[in-house]
Chains A and B, each alone.
Chain A
Amino acid sequence: AQKVTQAQTEISVVEKEDVTLDCVYETRDTTYYLFWYKQPPSGELVFLIRRNSFDEQNEISGRYSWNFQKSTSSFNFTITASQVVDSAVYFCALRPAGNMLTFGGGTRLMVKP
């Protein structure tokens, strides 16, 4: 069975603080893909990043960075110098050999000015 756990249900930070959103996954498949999506108050899920199980290189995109560690089955997401516009619910998702995405419960990030 596949499972994604986002232990932090809600995080509140002040603008310009760095924040890390945790994601731990479970799968028996050796080939799989991991994703992060952002769901702003408008409701539409926005794709942020995809990682396959054979690529453990960390990635940085502007203020966003991702740390993938197979040894701990984690795929954490860090926002540097957070901004109010980063306020949203963030979902980590797993796609193993099948076609469906298994989502975590999401982390609500509130960035206060």
Chain B
Amino acid sequence: DTGVSQNPRHKITKRGQNVTFRCDPISEHNRLYWYRQTLGQGPEFLTYFQNEAQLEKSRLLSDRFSAERPKGSFSTLEIQRTEQGDSAMYLCASSPSPAGHEQYFGPGTRLTVT
């Protein structure tokens, strides 16, 4: 069990550029979650996958955000036309079934939009 991994750990980009983050969950976990955490706040839910199906999306996930989990393993989160307000820590978590099980978090990707 190597834990949840995320890449890159840090990303600095200019406003208007597109960025993509990757999350590799714990191998036997079929549920994968994305959260966003801004400084001094708790994480906020963005979206959730069960296997390759995206089952829930938060209102926080604007049209500029898209997430995929094509083979039910790793997931990507893309932000198009980044804005300064997108600067945050993007956290990925995974959990096994059934529902209610604890979620295990990765180290996060810190995005800075200049």
Contacts and interface: CB of A to CB of B under 8 A. Distances in A.
Contacts, number: 57
B106 interface: yes
B41 interface: yes
Given A33-B100, A45-B43, A100 B48 contact: yes
Given A35-B102, A44-B107, A47-B104, A91 B42 contact: yes
B69 interface: no
A50 B89 contact: no
A95 B93 CA distance: 14
Given A33-B100, A52-B100, A95-B100, A103 B43 contact: yes
Interface of B: 31, 33, 35, 40-45, 48, 55-56, 58, 89, 91, 93, 99-108
Of all A-B residue pairs in the complex, the 6 with the closest CB atoms, nearest first, are A103-B42, A100-B45, A45-B105, A44-B107, A33-B100, A47-B102
